[in-house]
Structure formats: C-alpha cells, structure tokens
Structure 1
Amino acid sequence: MSTKPPTSLTERRKAATQLEIAHAAAELFATQGPHGTTAEEIARDAGVALRTFYRYFRSKQDAVSPLLADGADRWRALLDAAEPGTDLARALEAAVRQSLAAPDGEAAQALLRTRGLLRAAADDPALRAVWYRVNQESEERLVPVVARLADGRLGVLQVRLVAAAATDAIRIALETWADTEAAVTGEGSPAELAIDCLRQLVGGMSLLAPDDGEQG
C-alpha cells in the first residue's frame, strides 16, 4: 500500500473551504441550474467572499470539481489499499462496489448530489467539461495504482487500458443512473451499473497472464 505525506493545516483548511464552495455550487446548480446561478450566489451560500471564490476557481462550473474529484479519490484510495499481486479484477470490483455503496444517509446524499450535477450538465457544456476533466485526471492518477497492484503481470499498454476501463465504467454508470429514477441501492443503482460496466469493459482483457511480448 502506498503512503502519502501528511498535508499541512493550511492545505487542509484550503481543501475544506474548496469543498464547502463545491457543495454550495452543487446545491444551486441542482435547484436552479448553472445558467440561473451566479458566482456571487455560490460564494454567499458558502459563506466566503467573492474574491475567495475566484482565488480557488476560474468559473462557477469549475467550483464543483473538488466534489466530483472527492468521489474519484475515495475509490482510488480503496483500490490502493490492496496488496501488490492481488487478483486485480476482484480488487477493482470490490473498490468500485464499496465506493458507490450507500450505507448511510450521507453517502446516499452524495450520490444524489452527483445525479443533480450530471442532470444540470446536460444543458451546460462548461459543466460537462469539468466532469470529463475530473474523469481524465482520475484515470491518469489510477495508472500507477494499477501498475503497483499488477506487480509486473501487465505491460504498460494493459495498465493504461485497465485504468481507462475502470474510470469509464464508473463514469458511464453514473451518467446512465442519472438519467433514471433508480434508487441509490439495489437494481439499477450506481454500484450495480458500475460492476456491470466494469465486467464488460475489463472482461476481454487478460489481467493475470499477459503474453511476454506485451510487457512494457
């Protein structure tokens, strides 16, 4: 399991402020849409000055990026907790299922907030761009995690394919779920859809015994 250096108090406070702004933006976008929301309103609801808002974010749409990235960071950390050489397919499924589970009200609310954002993004190209950017960044950060867990069993190309497939499985599942009225748990839930997507996307890859010629 990899370790990260502890963050400073200043960095933690900065991250907390950014997340508070992200929550305020998400609530406003879900209720009145991005077009009907101003940066001033987001700053006011977050309890910060407008100059503080623009210190952290370039636009009102960009303000939700910490919230979207938080979910990606959580599932990547779950995967990173597995030991090198573990069954990669099972580790991926376990991390995806656990990260998208809704064991309590807070987790359920987080998923519903994401649904609201994705629905709002349907009519806002800038908000969609933030969503795609967060997913791209998540995929890039996942590559070294997959490589460490594969422990030499996968070539460079396969590692990147697995990282891309796993990221897209969650993205497609959440986007599909957002277009429905399915609950946060059970049939049609994000976790169930993501596992289905993951199995279809990764199922055709040889995760455990790549040919020697595929090694990077």
Structure 2
Amino acid sequence: MSDNHSNPMLVRLNTTGDARRTMFGFETDDHPRLDRFQNALSAVAGVIAGACVVVLVLLTCLEVFARTVLSQPLGWNVAFTESYLMVGAAFFGIVTAYRTAAHVAVTSIFEKLPFWSQKGMVVITHVLVTVVFTLLFWYGLLATLESVAMNEIPPRGSAELSIPDWIWKSFVPIASAMAFVIAVIDLGREIAAGPSVLATDYDPGDVIVEAE
C-alpha cells in the first residue's frame, strides 16, 4: 500500500485493508455481495430521504408564492411536512448516514485506545445500534397497525390531507428494518472476523491509502 491523497474513493478499513467509498456505502474485496446488498438498502433509503428534502423545499416555495402572491395559503402544507417529509427525511436518512459513516464520531479518542478496546467498542456499538433499531421497528409497527385498526384518516376540509395516517407511520418500521439489517450484517461480520481484526471500521482516518 502507498499513501496517496489523489484518490478520495479509497478509505482505510483497518490496519490491513482498504474499503472503496461509494455514494451510499463501502465496498471491500472480502465480502462484495454483502457490501452491495447493504449499499442497495442505503441507496433506496437515501433516495427516499433526498426526495423528501426536495419536496419539502419545493412545497415551501409554493406556500410562499401562494401566500404572498395569490393570498391563498395552502393550509395543509405544515401538517404534510411534519408527518411525511420530515419523518421520511429523518428516518430514511439515518439508514444512509449509518451505512456511509456520515454520523458524528469522535475518532481522536478511539484511535488512541488499545486494539482490544477498539474491537470491543465496535462490537458494542453494533449491538446497541441493532437493539435501538429493533425497538424502533417494533413500536413503529405497533403504531402503524393500531392506526390501520382504528382507520385513522384526517377528515376532508381539515388542515391535513385526507390520507390514512398509517402511511406516514409506516416510515418508522420500514426504515428501522432496513437499518437493522445493515447493522446485523456488520455485527455478524465483526464477530466472524475474530478478535484480531477490525472488519467494519470504515473511519477514513488522517491518511487516504491506495492499494498498489
């Protein structure tokens, strides 16, 4: 390997290997099929989250135009933004952020720890992420099913569009299930790698490395 700052697509996987950074995740030579599967889930979630943000911006512009120029505000845009667009952007965005390591991380402390501590922290992190998304999936699913059973639909003419509430509530269990699958794969890969290898440390670090 040789240090090379000219190719930002390669990042340090661990002390013995590289991972190729893609728009929606990472790819390695050790488990390319699993990488592509995880990246596919991340891509679907990223597209949904991005679409929510784009629609949010367009809807805001439309509301400003309707209110200031036509003097006829939409009325339903606030509830639609809060229920659909913000929920979709947040929960599906979490999936892509987790897979691409875009979340906030304090690597300066992590890198100073002994290897066995780093290994333990990575495993514990995957376990905690798996547990959190399991709970989000379960309670999100319960809320969705309850909404279906109660036939929750805003009445016509109210400040909300007359769309069944279970649709936006389903965003939570769907996104959580996608993140759960990604986290479980990472956890299984980290455990299977053994105690002497960090298999899912995708921190770019200070140096970009390139395979010869």
TM-score by length of 1: 0.29
Q: Which has the higher contact order (CA 8 A, sep 6+)?
A: 2
Whichever structure has more helix as a proportion of its residues is 1
Q: Which has the larger radius of gyration?
A: 2
Whichever structure has more strand as a proportion of its residues is 2
